[in-house]
Amino acid sequence: MMPGKGRRWLWALVAVVVTALVWGVVIVVAGHPAAGATAGTADLRGYHTVDDLCTATDYTPLTGRGFTVSPSEDGMKNPSASTFRHAALDQMGCDIAFLVPGSKDAKYPVTASLGISAVLHKQSDPGPEFAAAYQSQVTGDFTNDFPQSKVTRVPGLADDAYQVVQPNTEQYPRTDVKLFIRDGWMVYSITFYEERGSDETNATIPSESDALAMLTTIAKSGMAKLKS
């Protein structure tokens, strides 16, 4: 049974939030203490913490395609941003739910969710563990974290970057793509998730390649704003 019309976007948003939390924790706890590292030697490359990551996010690649931000409901603000500051690292998060073009008049309008997180490591270098975590997925030596997903390294994007694509199926038509980026001691992740029911044939669901292209554009813009 599909969730009710008024709560549909909450379900999609939860899927993105859970993914961001799981992988945010993995990267956060995996930081490798550098010899003699202090806040003064952290390789942050000009990145700084902001109070609202959503305002530092340009999501026009989505709204330009007809996606509209869902209204806040049931006491859940949309967009929703959070920031946590600590001597060891700062964490920022943003979650946005959208109504999908072509599904406005459907019984259950299709929703899409965009989840973003940025972590500034101030006392440890996340680089070695970041690479090891995703390279194990690329080689197929360790696949428990993203079952049935395709993990691919993205060359030329910051110091290290990986994309994760969850396969689309006839039974569960969806677009579920993730992009994880490390630039110095900053780790930036962005997730796009959208699915529809069998009665929602008019909804526009971006292809995996289109979604990844949008995520890359949004990520590059967002990372630049964290330096401005």
Domain residue extents for the chain = 5-225
What is the DSSP code string of 93-143? Answer: EEEEEEEPTT-TTSSS--EEEEEEEEEEESSSB-HHHHHHHHHHHHHTS--
pTM above 0.85, yes or no: no
pLDDT in tens, the chain (228 residues): 344 444 444 444 444 444 444 444 444 444 444 443 444 589 999 999 999 999 999 999 999 999 999 888 877 899 999 999 999 999 999 999 998 887 766 666 778 999 999 999 999 999 999 988 887 766 665 555 555 678 899 999 999 999 999 877 777 677 899 999 999 999 999 999 987 665 555 667 788 899 999 999 999 999 999 997
Cα 62 to Cα 27, 171, 201, 224, distances in angstroms: 27, 25, 19, 19
pLDDT confidence of residue 4: 45
pLDDT confidence of residue 37: 45
Domain 5-225: which CATH number of 2.40.160, 3.10.20, 3.30.70, 3.40.1000? 3.40.1000
Torsion-angle region of 46 (φ positive above 0: left; ψ -120 to 50: alpha; else: beta):
left
pLDDT confidence of residue 11: 42
pLDDT confidence of residue 38: 47
pLDDT confidence of residue 139: 62
pLDDT confidence of residue 207: 85
In angstroms, how far is CA 187 from the centroid of its own chain?
A: 11
pLDDT confidence of residue 106: 65
